[in-house]
Amino acid sequence: MRVRLTEIRLRPTGKKVRLDRDLDVESLFIGRGPDNDLSLKGLTISLHQATLRMADGRLYAEAAPGQEVNCNGLVSQGERLAIGDVLKIGSWELRVIEPTSVGEFDVALEYEETDRGEDERAALDARVRLGLESGAFAMRPLAWAGIVLVLSLFLLLPLAWEGAQSPWNTGDVSRGHAYIENDCQSCHSGLFRPVQNQDCMTCHHDIGRHAPQTMSMEALDDASCATCHLEHRGRQVDLADLGAGFCADCHSDLASTLPATALRNASDFGDDHPPFQLALVTDPAEEAVSVDVTPDLVEVSGLEFSHLRHVGKAVSGRGDEKQYLQCGACHQPDAGGLYMKPVVFEDHCEDCHQLDFDATAPKNAVPHGDPAVIRDRIRGFYANRVLDGDVKDPAAPRRLRLRRPGKRLTADEAELSRKWVDGKVAAAERRFYERPGTCDLCHTLAPGAASDGGIGIAPVQVQEVWVPGSIFSHGSHAPFACVKCHPAAGVFDPEEDTSLARPSWSLEGAIPYELIPREPTTGVSTVSGDILIPDVAVCRDCHAGATASGGEKVPSPCSMCHPFHVRANGPMGTIADAEPAFVPPTPDADAAEGAGEIESGDSAAIHRALFRNGFGAHRDSAGSRWRDVRHPPFDRLN
């Protein structure tokens, strides 16, 4: 049976639309259930209400067992249908109409919801039976018994016993604890017993101390977790958000808690916060030192670099195609959106600064790295040319140029090849180290410093996390142009290349790579030693104190940038003379040195010690890169 179904829907605008659907079925089943060919919504409709069948070329409507059909206002168990007949099923009307294409369809039906009757709730009540209408389990006695039980347990018992009063004060737990909300013993180790620290440490076993173990603070060591992190205040409450004044209670007057400390007071970012302290590299072979931000700071990283020559001018990239480099060509945020990933020669520099040494050599034949390794690669390249009989150099000895591949080298050929290879290595080395604009463009050459005794490269250390002990997210600041915080690095040279149009991303107001015109008063970074990290005044252009409201600045509590719990300080509750249950990530001699410096009370020494002990950060296996491992507000407790 070929059926054309047409649903008539009423749009919110009052316009009716028709939706056609074609079926090829033996019988058309109609009802509320989703397994019907025509599923109609409505509580007054049975899961299977009726069936339409073709017999002897005629259409019949048959009611399902226990159901009825309404055809043209008459109720029956079944009817023969003709063009113009109307079936009423619940609030729906089904009309038999003439097929538009004779012979293509056996039956054509159109249906629409005409009215929703008042008897739907009655139909639902008629289907639902609790079976407790009479007898000992009648609803009324059970209801009264339940009322008495609830009043006894939650009113009379707490009035008579103070220990049972806690259910009166309970509420929804925070989002992070929602999965154990129904398991009270996960946090409460005893009946109606307040949460103990060891209960919290069952899951949060790696919660760090606030201060190093050598800086003993009894108030912190003995503090209860529940003193600061109050539960049962609802899903929207952040357990790590302790309010604006929590940090200021101690840090506004540290001398009263730690009389010997030289750490500076801070109570509010907008009004009372000391200048930033940077981890500055002053010797590439040594660790960074902690210093105050001053205009005369210079970084000695072992590299030479000019932002103006790269960002402010057109440079040649792949295929010698000129382009203006945007900040994102070299500076890309890490996966967490916190800090910028390290600049890697192969990813960011090689397109313009290629390490080529022979026109016949494949691109990138030598790696960027240890000069001794580079020399070995070049030597191996030319030695393979000799062994393969592929010497095309006109200046090479004739015996090498005519040598057949695979033939064993004679003593004379071996000596000739050694001299020729040594000469080619020396020529390539002169190309790398003596030609202007090659290795010495960025590096300081160190003759005799390489592992093979040849020309080496002076040590390089590029700082990645400038303010250890704090957290900064480049991802959160993505809506702002780079020049807002780093104007000296994003300056457009007025002597632009006339053959290259200025790109749209560099124009005023472009996000995130807006460049600013170079003016006589504009500071421009032309050397790598320039410190481009903004000071606290720049941050205050957008960030206000924690209690600020009603303005355009962002209220900024201490926890936005400073974690309270630091894993590197050991777990909460441990002290210096106890057996440590936690091994800091950098347990070296610097830790012991840092402990002595903390006791000395020198401010710079304290910050160096915190830096060495991984305050809010950790070092990689090379011991020179610092990576922050936290991102508030999602990981403040860890």
Query: Does 28 have pLDDT greater than 90?
Result: yes
Please write the tens of the pLDDT for every residue from 134-143: 566 677 888 8
Alpha-carbon distance of 609 to 594, in angstroms, equals 4
Alpha-carbon distance of 92 to 46, in angstroms, equals 13
Please enumerate in sequence order all residues whose Cβ is within 8 A of that of 116, keeping only pairs 6 or more positions apart, or say none: 42, 91
Q: What is the mean pLDDT of the chain?
A: 80
Q: Token pair 């899951």 is at which residue? A: 203
Query: Does 54 have pLDDT greater than 80?
Result: yes
What would the two tokens of residue 265 be?
């007071």
The reported pLDDT for the residue numbered 281 is 92
Alpha-carbon distance of 206 to 581, in angstroms, equals 10
Residue 96 confidence class, pLDDT cut points 50, 70, 90? very high
Lowest mean pLDDT among 372-386, 494-508, 610-624: 610-624
Query: Does 601 have pLDDT greater than 70?
Result: no
Please write the tens of the pLDDT for every residue from 226-273: 888 888 888 888 887 776 577 888 888 888 888 878 788 998 898 889
- The mean pLDDT of 22-35, rounded to a whole number, is 92
User: CA of 339: how far to CAs of 148, 239, 413, 463, 468, in Å?
Assistant: 62, 26, 56, 11, 12
- The mean pLDDT of 330-357, rounded to a whole number, is 87
User: CA of 326: how far to CAs of 250, 308, 330, 422, in Å?
Assistant: 44, 12, 8, 42
Q: Report the Cα 530 to chain-centroid distance in Å.
A: 30
134, 142 Cβ separation under 8 angstroms = no
The reported pLDDT for the residue numbered 318 is 60
Domains of the chain: 2-127 (2.60.200.20), 140-168 (no CATH), 298-339+473-529 (no CATH), 353-457 (no CATH)
Q: Which helix (H) or strand (E) holds 143?
A: helix 139-151
Please write the tens of the pLDDT for every residue from 153-195: 878 887 777 666 566 667 888 888 888 877 777 888 876 678 8
610, 249 Cβ separation under 8 angstroms = no
Greater confidence (383 vs 259) lies with 383
- The mean pLDDT of 7-11, rounded to a whole number, is 88
Query: Does 38 have pLDDT greater than 90?
Result: yes
262, 606 Cβ separation under 8 angstroms = yes
310, 348 Cβ separation under 8 angstroms = no
Query: Does 27 have pLDDT greater than 90?
Result: yes
**Residue 393 class from Cβ within 10 Å (0-12 exposed, 13-18 middle, 19+ buried)?**
middle
Query: Does 547 have pLDDT greater than 90?
Result: no
Alpha-carbon distance of 128 to 637, in angstroms, equals 50
- The mean pLDDT of 103-128, rounded to a whole number, is 75
Alpha-carbon distance of 632 to 638, in angstroms, equals 10
- The mean pLDDT of 136-152, rounded to a whole number, is 84
The reported pLDDT for the residue numbered 565 is 87
Q: Report the Cα 158 to chain-centroid distance in Å.
A: 47
**Phi then psi for 56, rounded to 5 degrees?**
55, 35
> DSSP characters for 231-296?
-SS-TT--TT---THHHHHHHTSHHHH-TT--PPP-SBTTTB-PPPEEEE-S-TTS--EEEE--TT
- The mean pLDDT of 380-395, rounded to a whole number, is 89
Query: Does 623 have pLDDT greater than 60?
Result: no
Return the sign of the alpha-carbon dihedral for residues 478, 482, 483, 488.
positive
Greater confidence (490 vs 578) lies with 490
Alpha-carbon distance of 50 to 68, in angstroms, equals 8
- The mean pLDDT of 520-528, rounded to a whole number, is 84
The reported pLDDT for the residue numbered 229 is 86
What would the two tokens of residue 261 be?
């400390």
What would the two tokens of residue 57 be?
């070329």
Furthest-apart CA pair in the chain: how many Å?
A: 118
Q: What is the reported pTM? A: 0.59
- The mean pLDDT of 87-106, rounded to a whole number, is 86
Percentage of the chain lying above the pLDDT 90 cut: 21
Alpha-carbon distance of 627 to 521, in angstroms, equals 35
Query: Does 355 have pLDDT greater than 70?
Result: yes
Q: Which of 167-181, 335-349, 351-365, 618-632 has the highest mean pLDDT?
A: 335-349
Percentage of the chain lying above the pLDDT 70 cut: 83
504, 510 Cβ separation under 8 angstroms = yes
For 588, what's the count of Cα atoms within 13 Å in the CB-facing half-sphere?
10
Query: Does 591 have pLDDT greater than 60?
Result: no
